[in-house]
């Protein structure tokens, strides 16, 4: 371990000092700037994971985002589309909520809602084949974002399983992910940059 790296000295948080938190705060800013890279790395875990589908989960993600982009959607929307299934690896029983939590600080409320609830709306296209209720989305009928979520699934998500579709590569979307994730719109943990960094 590198002994020259500055570290906080408390053993319990209640012993913490301003000096400790200056160290941790500085580290946090640098760590947070690497978020887009970590998210992109995690998205790549979906490559080759077919789960019986005609395309792998990464291709499905790229195709969903490509279809949204080619339909003229803005960058926040396209990034949400790209990441909407990123929760499949860690949230096998609640993947929309995992993705929604990741995009939440960076996208408008409508897009967060779409991401969080797309599972119920996507079910309209297949739940009845698995003994479930294809109308599960009706629980949200009347919500202000109901139609937007239904449109996302109809136009992009349920349509993104075509092995012959020419999707853009992940490299095409990387700059968009970096721009959208460069700065949170809202976060409990949003720290102001120190004055000396704002030259
Ligand atoms: Fe999904
Ligand atoms: Fe999907």
Q: What is the CATH number of the domain that holds 144?
A: 1.10.3210.10
pTM above 0.85, yes or no: yes
Average pLDDT over every residue of 149-156:
98
What's the CA gap between 20 and 23, in Å, rounded? 5
Q: Cβ(134)–Cβ(126) under 8 Å? A: yes
In a domain, 189, yes or no: no
Average pLDDT over every residue of 23-50:
95
Tell me the residue range of the domain where 148 lies: 35-180
Given phi > 0 = left and psi -120 to 50 = alpha, else beta, which region is 142? left
Structural domains in the chain (count): 1
State the distance from the centre of ligand 1 to the C-alpha of 95, rounded, in angstroms. 7
In a domain, 70, yes or no: yes
State the distance from the centre of ligand 1 to the C-alpha of 85, rounded, in angstroms. 5
Assess whether pLDDT exceeds 80 at residue 85: yes
State the distance from the centre of ligand 2 to the C-alpha of 83, rounded, in angstroms. 9
In a domain, 2, yes or no: no
Higher pLDDT, 187 or 34: 34
């Amino acid at each position: 371990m590198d002994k020259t790296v500055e570290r906080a000295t408390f053993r319990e948080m209640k012993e913490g000092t301003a000096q400790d938190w200056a160290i941790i705060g500085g580290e946090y800013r640098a760590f947070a700037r690497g978020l887009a890279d970590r998210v992109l790395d995690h998205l790549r875990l979906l490559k080759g994971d077919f789960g019986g589908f005609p395309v792998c989960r990464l291709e499905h993600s790229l195709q969903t985002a490509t279809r949204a982009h080619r339909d003229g959607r803005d960058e926040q929307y396209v990034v949400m589309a790209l990441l909407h299934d990123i929760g499949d690896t860690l949230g096998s029983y609640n993947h929309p909520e995992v993705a929604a939590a990741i995009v939440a600080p960076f996208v408008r409320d409508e897009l967060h809602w779409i991401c969080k609830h797309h599972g119920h709306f996507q079910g309209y296209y297949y739940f009845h084949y698995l003994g479930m209720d294809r109308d599960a989305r009706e629980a949200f009928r009347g919500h202000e974002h109901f139609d937007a979520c239904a449109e996302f699934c109809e136009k992009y998500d349920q349509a993104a399983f075509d092995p012959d579709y020419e999707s853009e590569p992940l490299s095409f979307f990387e700059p968009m992910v970096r721009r959208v994730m460069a700065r949170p719109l809202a976060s409990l943990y949003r720290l102001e940059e120190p004055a000396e960094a704002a030259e």
